Amino acid sequence: MDGFIEVKDLKKTFVDKEKSTEVLKGIDLSIQKGEIFGIVGFSGAGKSTLVRCINRLEEPDSGTVLIDGEDITALNRDALNKRRRRIGMIFQQFNLFDSMTVRKNIAYALKHTELSEKEKEERIDEMLRLVSLTDKRDAYPGELSGGQKQRVGIARALANNPDVLLSDEATSALDPQTTLSVLDLLKEINEKLGLTILLITHELEVVKYTCNRMAVMEEGKLVEQGLVEEIFQNPKCDTAKSFIDVYNKFRSN
Ligand SMILES: Nc1ncnc2c1ncn2[C@@H]1O[C@H](COP(=O)(O)OP(=O)(O)OP(=O)(O)O)[C@@H](O)[C@H]1O
Ligand SMILES: [Mg+2]
């Protein structure tokens, strides 16, 4: 069965003045509709580049990305911009506008919609309820905790009813308790909205807690893919073994 997100032989090389770095060396990935799929890998493995190539914030050199059967790599600028509104993205550093209130940060995502002003306000309120931040509607990001900021990021990412959410280290700047609450929120919206989530992290416990299937990325390649449980029980590549080793050491001491 074809996945909701199908990545085929995706490649990306960055070329600077003197050297070129092959960062994605032919990525194949198939993510089912409504799944939360995790990718782990060491720093520099190419995880962020992969997500950025999926929504073409970065242009891949070759390969294809299909979302719901549509070839994202073949879209022209206009069509891409339109499609992208329905691909939510959240980041480690939240990427909020500090000079805008919470309400305005979410409204920003809705600037292209054909909703009336009243409908927009209703949508913003609905998003605020979803992430439990109704009381922070008129606060500025500087007045919020990290977890609250990420909730605003999630509200903004979901404002346009996306069918895909790309999460790049969204909990890496948060303390363990806040990480859990954000992951619970992602699980909740995954169930409630049927959203397909690609979750990038270097924290194995995040994948263990949230995902059904996962892949391990190593120097621009996905070297192992499968059910989280199976990889935990029987890791094959050195990177997976090393991640699990560290995970177990933290738990046993
Ligand atoms: N715009 C760019 N120009 C040149 N090289 C880049 C660019 N973006 C990323 N790279 C290189 O690509 C490689 C992979 O970077 P990437 O950010 O995708 O890794 P990552 O797995 O997300 O790492 P981390 O866990 O630290 O976030 C690194 O060697 C990085 O230096
Ligand atoms: Mg990264």
3-class secondary structure, 183 = helix
Residue nearest to atom 5 of ligand 1 (CA): 14
What's residue 191's pLDDT?
Answer: 95
Q: What average pLDDT does the segment 244-250 reach? A: 91
Tell how far CA 96 is from the center of its chain. 16
Residue ranges and CATH numbers for the domains of the chain are 5-86+165-252 (3.40.50.300), 96-161 (no CATH)
H runs (alpha helix) in 113-145? 117-130
Band of residue 252 on the pLDDT scale cut at 50, 70, 90: confident
- Residue 70's DSSP bridge partners are 67
pLDDT tens figures, 31-50: 999 999 999 999 999 999 99
pLDDT of 94 over the 80 cut: yes
pLDDT above 90 as % of the chain: 94
Residue nearest to atom 9 of ligand 1 (CA): 49
pLDDT of 101 over the 80 cut: yes
Tell me if 175 sits within 8 A of 6, measured CB to CB: no
pLDDT of 253 over the 80 cut: no
Residue nearest to atom 30 of ligand 1 (CA): 44
From the CB of 25, is ligand 1 less than 6 Å away?
no
Tokens standing for residue 16: 């600077």
From the CB of 90, is ligand 1 less than 6 Å away?
no
Location of structure tokens 């690609």 = 198
Band of residue 1 on the pLDDT scale cut at 50, 70, 90: low
From the CB of 45, is ligand 1 less than 6 Å away?
yes
Location of structure tokens 């409204």 = 107
Tokens standing for residue 233: 């029980």
3-class secondary structure, 236 = coil
Q: For a substitution probing ligand 1, which of 20, 25, 42, 48 has the most ligand atoms within 8 Å of its CB?
A: 48
Tell me if 24 sits within 8 A of 52, measured CB to CB: no
pLDDT tens figures, 138-151: 999 999 999 999 99
What's residue 251's pLDDT?
Answer: 84
Q: What is the DSSP string of 15-63?
A: E-SS-EEEEEEEEEEEE-TT-EEEEEE-TTSSHHHHHHHHTTSS--SEE
What is the chain's mean pLDDT, rounded? 95
Residue nearest to atom 8 of ligand 1 (CA): 49
Q: What average pLDDT does the segment 178-206 reach? A: 95
From the CB of 23, is ligand 1 less than 6 Å away?
yes
From the CB of 216, is ligand 1 less than 6 Å away?
no
What is the layout of strands, in order, in the sheet containing 62-67? 20-31, 5-15, 62-67, 70-71
pLDDT of 67 over the 80 cut: yes
Q: What average pLDDT does the segment 221-241 reach? A: 95
Other beta carbons less than 10 A from residue 251's beta carbon: 8
pLDDT of 102 over the 80 cut: yes
What's residue 220's pLDDT?
Answer: 97
155 phi/psi in degrees, rounded to 5: -60, -45
Q: What average pLDDT does the segment 116-133 reach? A: 95
- Residue 197's DSSP bridge partners are 36, 165
